[in-house]
Amino acid sequence: TQLLEQSPQFLSIQEGENLTVYCNSSSVFSSLQWYRQEPGEGPVLLVTVVTGGEVKKLKRLTFQFGDARKDSSLHITAAQPGDTGLYLCAGGRYGGSQGNLIFGKGTKLSVKP
Amino acid sequence: NAGVTQTPKFQVLKTGQSMTLQCAQDMNHNSMYWYRQDPGMGLRLIYYSASEGTTDKGEVPNGYNVSRLNKREFSLRLESAAPSQTSVYFCGHGSPGTSFREQYFGPGTRLTVT
């Protein structure tokens, strides 16, 4: 069974701090997505990375796909209360049905003003 | 909500009752999915449908059935609800590209089985 391990599970920081969330696996993925989920809502896609070593930036968020396509990180610079939420990584599996993803268990981020 | 409508938003069932969760997408995507989300467990795939007329089991299919009624609609049925099925259920649909496998989710149905 392919697993995606996310760390840390919980993170509580002050506004303005930087943070990094990790997503690791022993399996190789065709792509890696990051989602953010707010309470009472469904996950919302933030970014997809598909090439080993790829780095994508979305304002203060920086996403990186590992060279071996087994891991990824999300770095937030100068976190703000609006960044609060559950961050989920999801890996696209080779083969299988189109669109089949493996989800990590998530990192719950709380940013205090 | 990424072009996904889920009904109902909340539901309380007694053990043994049945119900159908409805999902419709308006983005003309072939792939549709049903997930459940439990505290500390992330999203787990129940069933998916790669295209109209096809369905396949995911990681946790026991106790559920699905119907891909047409390209837009994918329903999830609980024939005899159990307390272990208390969860939040998300319907999603997938982008047509086979490489990226991005998925888009509805707002969820919060189900409690007593």
CB-CB: which of B41, B50, B99 is closest to A50? B99
Alpha-carbon distance of B79 to B2, in angstroms, equals 29
- Cβ-based neighbours of B13, under 8 Å, separated by 6 or more: B19, B78, B81, B111, B112, B113, B114
- pLDDT tens per residue, range B21-43: 999 999 888 889 999 999 888 89
- B40 close to A (CB below 8 A): yes
CA pair distance B6, A44, nearest whole angstrom: 15
Dihedral sign (CA A108, A46, B60, A30): negative
- Determine, for residues B108 and A40 on separate chains, whether the beta-carbon distance falls below 8 Å: yes
Rounded Cα distance, A31 and A11, in Å: 25
- pLDDT band at residue B97 under the 50/70/90 scheme: low
Q: What is the pLDDT of residues A18-65, one digit of tens each?
A: 999 999 999 998 889 999 999 999 999 999 998 999 999 999 999 999
> What residues in A contact B105, CB-CB < 8 Å?
42-44
pLDDT class of B1 with cuts at 50, 70, 90: low
Between β-strands A107-112 and A10-14, what pairing exists: parallel, antiparallel or unpaired?
parallel
